[in-house]
Amino acid sequence: MSLRNIGIVYRKELRESLRDRRTLTSMIVVPILIMPLLTIGVGVAVSKIAGSAKDELAKVVVVGGNDSPKVVSALQGAKGISVLPFDPNYEKLIGDKKIRAAVEIPSGFDAGLEQGTAGTVKIYDYQGNLSSGFAEQKLENFFRDYRDKAVEQNLQARNLSKNLINPFTISEQNVASAQQVGGQVLGGILPYFIIILCLTGAMYPAMDLTAGEKERGTIETILSSPVSRVHLVLGKFLTVLTASLCSGLLSLVSMGVSFQVAKRLIPPNLGTDNPFNFSIGLPTIGIIFLMVVPLAVLFAAGLLAIALFAKSYKEAQSYISPLMIVVIMPALIGMLPGVELNSRMSIIPVLNTSLICKEIATGTYHWNSILTILISTSVYAAAALYIAVKLFQREDVLFRT
């Protein structure tokens, strides 16, 4: 084994790959641009839409309430709510998004409230519609406050303490650190994007260094050089691996910068609803990246072996495209809530890496599982590299026509 020969092949292939526009796009441009678009672009847009919907004056219709002027008057003066004239087609108006909600006040509400038998207030909304949901929330908050004030007044009229109704209070205290919160938010998303971008970053170099060489007719020239085929395939493999790791690393850097910028662009009125209200440490991100390295080796070797069967670049694309589904499905499964890492899942490639990265993101380190995943993924990667080396030594594969 000559490291010098492998290095020569590696440097030569890397220089040529960096001249290829498709390789540069998949390795550098996509990781750098996709994260800002998905985080800053989509995230900020969604947050601004949510902020606008939250600040929107909720147009509602009151159904009934003719004998209860007090509650109707209070509702008309409520902040953030605009009471429109009654329309019998209020359900259709809600569906057409011309009004956001309707509230039905039972008969004799004002009189019944003093006796504690006011009945049931029914709110009509458009489930799934953001603006209608905020309108329903405003109406619910109004009637909750209105009920509490009525109870307090009734108790005072009877010289009773309001503490009889609320003898104790309930408070919520978050015991999770900012990193744990960030891990729950990013635990599934972060490894998913790294895995997918490691795969896409390796695809074009793998196809270009195998099927592309055949199509250009340069494969014969390379094979006639005084370098063994093992050294040739290892040099090409390192080039593909470099592209894969570069894509993963750039995606991490881009994601980190994107989230920092996104935090500054989110409307302040969202408060705790801010989707970027978390943090995740750089050491955690670094460990996640290290867990993806064996998987990147598996991708690089596997793609090289698959693309070597193709006679042309286009044929290689048709071979490799289905692999995206094979990788995306377990990566998506790893994002699902309730899917936990166990001994069986720790040996399933891609899924095991996705699940362990989700655990690491929250600050939880299952060292036995980490070791099992590293060993199993490394075994798969070594097997894929061995297959690629063997295929590169077969004339019927190299010179398919």
Residues 392 and 274 in one domain: yes
Q: Which helix (H) or strand (E) holds 385?
A: helix 367-392
**Where does a domain end: 163, 196, 231?**
163
Tell me, letter by letter, the H, E, C secondary structure of 274-293: CCCCCCCCHHHHHHHHHHHH
Residue 266 falls within a domain, yes or no? yes
Q: What is the mean pLDDT of the chain?
A: 81
When pLDDT is cut at 50, 70 and 90, the band that residue 112 belongs to is: confident
Together in a domain, 250 and 380: yes
For residue 101, what pLDDT is reported?
94
- pLDDT of 359: 82
Range of the domain at 118: 57-163
pLDDT in tens, 216-258: 777 777 777 777 878 888 888 999 999 889 888 888 777 777 7
Domain boundary among 133, 163, 193: 163
Residue 239 lies inside a defined structural domain of this protein: yes
CATH number of the domain enclosing 116: 3.40.190
Q: What is the mean pLDDT of residues 77-85?
A: 91
Tell me how far apart the alpha carbons of residues 398 and 100 are, in angstroms, rounded to a whole number. 66
Stated as kind and residue range, the H or E segment containing 104 is strand 101-105
Considering the domain architecture, whether residues 371 and 298 belong to the same structural domain is answered as yes
**3-state secondary structure (DSSP) of residue 225:** coil
Whole-angstrom distance, CA of residue 369 vs CA of residue 262: 34
Tell whether 37 and 104 lie within a shared domain: no
Is 173 a domain residue? no
Does residue 290 share a domain with residue 197? yes
Indicate whether 231 and 338 sit together in one domain: yes
